[in-house]
Amino acid sequence: MSEYRNQGVYTSAEDGFRSYLTKVFTRMGIALGVTALTAFAVYVNIMNGGFMLGVLESGVGMIVLMVAQLGICISLSAGLTKFSTATCTTLFYGYAVLTGITFSILPMYYGISTVFMAFVFASVLFFSCAVIGHTTNVDLSRFSGLFMGGLIALVLATVVSIFVPALRNSLVLSYIGVLLFLGITAWDVQKLKALYYQSGSDGTVQGNLAVFGSFQLYLDFINIFLYVLRILGSRNRN
């Protein structure tokens, strides 16, 4: 009898995790849709000589957007146990809107077709690694130091490339960026299960962790997309 009872508990827990995972990817998909629609709307506004052209051409405007995005990142991390799930979700979608505004200029630099192809390639790469992260039996946390060290090195190299033309014009950082964030994507998906079971029965904390997990995966996808876009854009210019 206890065997059946344990089996029932296990099945219930697995069903709960699948529901949780569905919420995570649904929110992420909605956020990507919000970003795409915002980017398109602002792009149309810019092409028609609207007010957003002045906002994005202004150095102050871009700084305000970046500071706002950073503020949301900090708020989401700090408010996991303090904010309601609705507040965390609003912050997440607010970040998606701000990202859409900044992305509205990408078609002017790379062309709409290149941006679309980069999105398709990034989607295939992202979801392939997401499946790997969900199904693999390998504990990817053992590579966490490598992932974080690689991320720090990539950020530093990107900053240095601003002052070194040879490095700035090279695609090496873009290829490294794609590979690094593919690995981080698989790791983040695997972490979702650990976070789910660690949250226990606290509905608010569990809901907030679902939002934060969606946010992490959203950032992973955005980074993969940007690096793929640079690679495709460079090839098209050549």
Q: Which residues of 221-233 are buried (b: 16+ CB within 10 A; e: fewer)?
A: bbbbbbbbbbbbb
Q: Is the pLDDT of residue 67 over 80?
A: yes
Instruction: Please answer whether residues 146 and 184 qualify as being in contact, where contact means their C-beta atoms are separated by less than 8 angstroms.
Output: no
Tell me the C-alpha distance between 40 and 163, whole Å.
Answer: 32
From the number of C-beta atoms within 10 Å of its C-beta (0-12, 13-18, 19+), residue 76 rates as: buried
Cα-based distances in Å from 128 to 143, 182, 186: 19, 9, 9
Q: Is the pLDDT of residue 84 over 90?
A: no
44-55 pLDDT tens trace: 888 887 777 777
The predicted structure's pLDDT at residue 13: 59
Instruction: Please answer whether residues 29 and 23 qualify as being in contact, where contact means their C-beta atoms are separated by less than 8 angstroms.
Output: no
Cα-based distances in Å from 54 to 51, 58, 96: 6, 6, 21
Question: What average pLDDT does this structure show over 164-187?
Answer: 87
Other C-beta atoms closer than 10 Å to the C-beta of 17 total 14
210-221 pLDDT tens trace: 888 899 999 999
Least confident span in 63-72, 76-85, 94-103, 127-136: 76-85
Least confident span in 93-102, 208-217, 224-233: 208-217
103-157 pLDDT tens trace: 988 998 898 999 999 999 999 999 999 999 888 888 888 888 888 999 999 889 8
The count of C-alpha atoms lying within 13 angstroms of the C-alpha of 130, restricted to the half-sphere facing its C-beta, is: 20
The predicted structure's pLDDT at residue 9: 42
The predicted structure's pLDDT at residue 236: 59
Tell me the C-alpha distance between 110 and 113, whole Å.
Answer: 8
